[in-house]
Amino acid sequence: MITVKIFTFNAYSENTYVLYDETKECVIVDPGMYEGFEQNELAAFIKQENLKPVILLNTHCHIDHVFGNKFIFDTYGLKPQFHAGELPVLNAVPSYAPSMGFTHYEVSPLPDTFLPETGTITFGNSTLDLIFAPGHSPAHLCFYSKADNILIGGDVLFRGSIGRSDLPGGNHEQLIQNISDKLFVLPDETTVYPGHGPETTIGFEKQHNPFF
């Protein structure tokens, strides 16, 4: 059974997730640590719970979701995994980070392997299904555990809202379509852990989200 630990980091209040099960193997998703104290908080939790980080995942590669990629690589030897369509997004970060006030962004390592549009990721006794849902960014992935009824949704679907689509590679119609066709077909009781803000459920959003 997957346990989800949520950290909220950086000036964008981005949600960083650590997923782990009874084997103590863990996956780190969208590490948003920018300040040293944020790095220390994540590392202290992993040490305290005696976890073994085995995979680093990015749902997408906007700056607030990749701040901590280099720290995770330096600390645990993990390179990020994401869809190849996000590579231009990641490569653009160093050029715009200073203009946004982030003068000590540490450049992310590049993946050894890219994730496909569909397939699975396994760690410990757990499996995550890949759901390809671009629209907020060009090749955004969500990570779904059918056994645990959880979706790590990145910036696709929020409680009562959706991801913005006005950034490079965004597409509003595509975003709406992917939420309808790929997320709203999941069980209503699926808990959605978004990239920002509180968690929600598929059922709640189908009923109450003003965009649908």
Give per-residue pLDDT as tens, 14-42: 999 999 999 999 999 999 999 999 999 99
The pLDDT confidence band at residue 1, using thresholds 50, 70 and 90, is: very high
Token duo for residue 66: 């990749």
Strand positions, DSSP E, 13-156: 14-20, 25-29, 52-57, 80-81, 120-123, 126-132, 141-145, 150-154
Does residue 150 contact residue 144 with C-beta atoms inside 8 Å? yes
Query: Structural domain tally of the chain?
Result: 1
Q: Classify burial at 51, counting beta carbons within 10 Å of its beta carbon; exposed 0-12, middle 13-18, buried 19 or more.
A: buried
Residue percentage of the chain with pLDDT more than 90: 100
* Per-residue pLDDT, 173: 97
- C-alpha distances out from residue 207 to 18, 23, 174, 203, Å: 29, 37, 20, 6
CATH number for the domain including 66? 3.60.15.10
* Per-residue pLDDT, 28: 99
* Per-residue pLDDT, 22: 98
Q: Which residues constitute the domain of residue 170?
A: 3-208
CA neighbor of 36 nearest in space, from 106, 108, 109? 106
pTM to 2 decimal places:
0.98
Tell me the per-residue pLDDT of 141-183, one tens digit each, with 9 for 90 and over. Answer: 999 999 999 999 999 999 999 999 999 999 999 999 999 999 9
Q: Give the chain's mean pLDDT.
A: 98
**Averaged over 125-153, what is the pLDDT?**
98
**Averaged over 89-112, what is the pLDDT?**
96
The pLDDT confidence band at residue 139, using thresholds 50, 70 and 90, is: very high
- C-alpha distances out from residue 74 to 16, 43, 67, Å: 17, 12, 13
**Averaged over 76-90, what is the pLDDT?**
98
Residue percentage of the chain with pLDDT more than 70: 100
**Averaged over 75-84, what is the pLDDT?**
98
